[in-house]
Structure 1
């Protein structure tokens, strides 16, 4: 199974490498206020990929922090529950008539 996973990884890498080598022509990216960036097309695509990756990571940070805090709270509650002694209650006696 590991062989198949590595084979797929190598195939994806080779495919992306061929794509990068095929898109080396210059492209111009025009920003607001007259700014322009001229770079190879694959470099512009890579820059947008990195910006998207960073935006996704930054948007995931609040939920990760919240989950870590909840995990710590639940661990403290579990530790407190394990430390409290268990009291076994006997069932009530049936009524005597």
Structure 2
């Protein structure tokens, strides 16, 4: 399955690369107030794609922040004792039974 995924990625890359090679001619960009510029077609398409990605991410940010705040509030509301502890193998004491809690980073 991983091979098929990489073959698909390579095919998409080569299709986009061929598109870029076939569209190297310059185009006229007519802006407002009579301003016009010349740019390669590839750069115009790339700039439009990048602008669309930026607008999409900016449109999703409020929802991400709202979800992050909601998740943090729910995590703070759940007491630590309510979180299930992982099972310990037979014969080994759990963290609650140890005389001193284990130190992190040692």
Normalised by the length of structure 2, the TM-score is 0.73
Higher relative contact order (CA 8 A, sep 6+): 1
Equivalent-residue separation in structure 2 for 1:9 and 1:42 (angstroms): 20
Which structure has the greater CA radius of gyration?
1
The runs of 4+ residues in structure 1 deviating greater than 3 Å are none
CA separation in 2, counterparts of 1:73 and 1:12?
42
- Give matches, 1:46-65, under 5 Å: 46-65=46-65
Structure 1 regions of 5+ residues with no counterpart?
84-97
Deviation (angstroms), 1:69: 0.1
Q: Which residue of 2 aligns with 1:92?
A: none
For residues 72 and 81 of structure 1, the distance between their equivalents in structure 2, rounded to whole angstroms, comes to 17
Partner deviation per Cα, 1:47-96 (whole Å, 9 max, x = no partner): 0100110001111111100000000011111226829xxxxxxxxxxxxx
Question: Does 1:9 pair with 2:9?
Answer: yes
What is the TM-score when the length of structure 1 is the normalising length? 0.80
Q: Which ranges of structure 2 fall in alignment gaps of 5 or more residues?
A: 84-106
* Aligned residue-pair number: 83
State the match for 2:71 in structure 1: 71
CA distance in 1, matches of 2:80, 2:33: 60
Query: Once the 2 structures are TM-superposed, how far is the Cα of residue 40 of structure 1 from its aligned partner?
Result: 0.7
